[in-house]
Amino acid sequence: MTTTHIPVRLDVEALAPAVYKAVAHLDHAATRQADDADLDHRLRELVRIRASQLNGCAYCTDMHSKDAREVGEAEQRLYSLPVWRETPFFTDEERAALALTEAATRLQDGAPGVTDEIWDAAAGYFDEKQLSAIILNIAMTNFFNRINRTIREQAGKTW
């Protein structure tokens, strides 16, 4: 198997350490909020992976897939995540979170965004603290995806 190395364009973290420190604090705060909301760790990772897949962020897809395995996520569900609608492997609760993830992530596609139907489905399974944790997970993932795609951060790298 031949691998192709695509060079990273620049080291944003080294060039903007104060921003990265602030973002790290924000990310940790979002994680603590998800803990306080008792949001399932596997669901958090499914949300992060799905947003990263949609954004084409190989680094985050790889990292969060590893994180999902560490919290007990099944390989079959990870492989099926891109086609979650066509599989029986996800609960209705997870489907609501994944639909919310896709709608909130695909803003650039000209899609309608988070419709009332998508919101109501998610709100039927999650309380307000959990919904806010999901939304923050989606937002933080999209933030990191955009940086990583722009600078060509490589999958498999560890910080």
pLDDT tens figures, 101-147: 999 999 876 778 999 999 999 999 999 999 999 999 999 999 999 99
Q: What distances in angstroms separate CA 51 from CA 2, 9, 21, 65, 123, one per listed residue?
A: 28, 23, 23, 12, 19
CATH class entry, domain 16-151: mainly alpha
CA 84 and chain centroid, separation: 15
Count the helices and strands in the chain (H runs, E runs): 8, 0
Give a three-class secondary structure readout of 54-106: HHCCHHHHHHHHHHHHHCCCCHHHHHHHHHHHHCCCCCHHHHHHHHHHHHHHH
Long-range contacts of 119-126 (CB under 8 A, 24+ apart): 121/95, 121/96, 122/96, 122/97, 124/96, 125/92, 125/93, 125/96, 125/97, 126/39, 126/93, 126/96, 126/97
pTM: 0.91
For the chain, the structural domain boundaries read: 16-151
Report the SS3 class of residue 113.
coil
Six-digit token string for 95: 């489907």
The tally of CA atoms less than 13 A away on the side-chain side of residue 88 is: 0
Q: What percent of the chain has pLDDT over 70?
A: 94
Report which residue type is found at 90. F
Chain-wide mean pLDDT for the chain?
A: 92
What is the SS3 assignment for 51? helix
> Which of 20-24, 53-57, 67-71, 140-144 is least confident?
20-24
Tell me which residue of 97, 127, 92 sits closest to 114, measured CA to CA: 97
